[in-house]
Amino acid sequence: MNIANDHNPIEYFQKWFHEVDKAHPEDEANAMLLSNKGLDGFPKSRIVLLKRFTWEGFIFFTNYNSEKGKAIAKDNNVSVLFNWIKSKREVLISGKAEKLPENLSEGYFESRPERSKLSAWVSNQSEVITSRKILEDRLKAYEVQFQNKTIPKPAYWGGYIIKPSQIEFIEHDPLVGFKRITKYMLRPDYSWSKNIKYCQD
């Protein structure tokens, strides 16, 4: 085991993210599989898009009334997987999801295209809707309501920041059937420990 303290995993992530984005845009570097304990007690996963990352964590936006939102309110332990197949790289993160401050969610909402803003009003994610027409009618109603007006952020829409406690960088080497795992773990004093191991794929 090789312990070093001199690296920050967010820098490592930034490097990988930009390399993947440049070399293999089809890997959709910002698509991440978010998993947590579902409302029925079983693990549940879905794709969400990484919109920002900072020294503190990884940010995505959603509907707080969605199933994931309700589940996170009960238990905010989450896992995130970036699976960059063409690049033969993965990043696996464990952490806690916390709601972003309202002003940051508002700032991001403002930057979204009008269509996306309206769609945030149209439905509660995960809500069962019996026909497409219901959504189309709601969309039309909101188009009229907000015509020539600034579309405000719905109170139930916003971001989460996933504050990591553990980040694994996994690099596959199919030629020899091995993977290299660089694992960072957050210490109680907020420094990161790092160890590298190799194992069979």
Ligand X SMILES: Cc1cc2nc3c(=O)[nH]c(=O)nc-3n(C[C@H](O)[C@H](O)[C@H](O)COP(=O)(O)O)c2cc1C
**Which residues of this chain interact with ligand X, rule CB under 6 A?**
31, 44, 46-49, 60-62, 66-68, 125-126
Alpha helices in 24-111 (DSSP H): 67-74, 102-110
Question: Facing residues of 196 across strands?
Answer: 182
Tell me the Cα Rg of the chain: 19
**DSSP 8-state symbol, 191:** -
For residue 177, the minimal CB distance to ligand X (Å) is: 30
Half-sphere exposure of 109 (CA within 13 A, CB side): 24
Nearer to ligand X (CB atom), residue 94 or residue 119: 119
- For helices 132-145 and 114-122, what crossing angle results, to 10°? 120
End-to-end CA distance of the chain: 19
Nearer to ligand X (CB atom), residue 30 or residue 94: 30
Nearer to ligand X (CB atom), residue 118 or residue 184: 118
For residue 149, the minimal CB distance to ligand X (Å) is: 25
For residue 112, the minimal CB distance to ligand X (Å) is: 11
Nearer to ligand X (CB atom), residue 36 or residue 182: 36
For residue 159, the minimal CB distance to ligand X (Å) is: 10
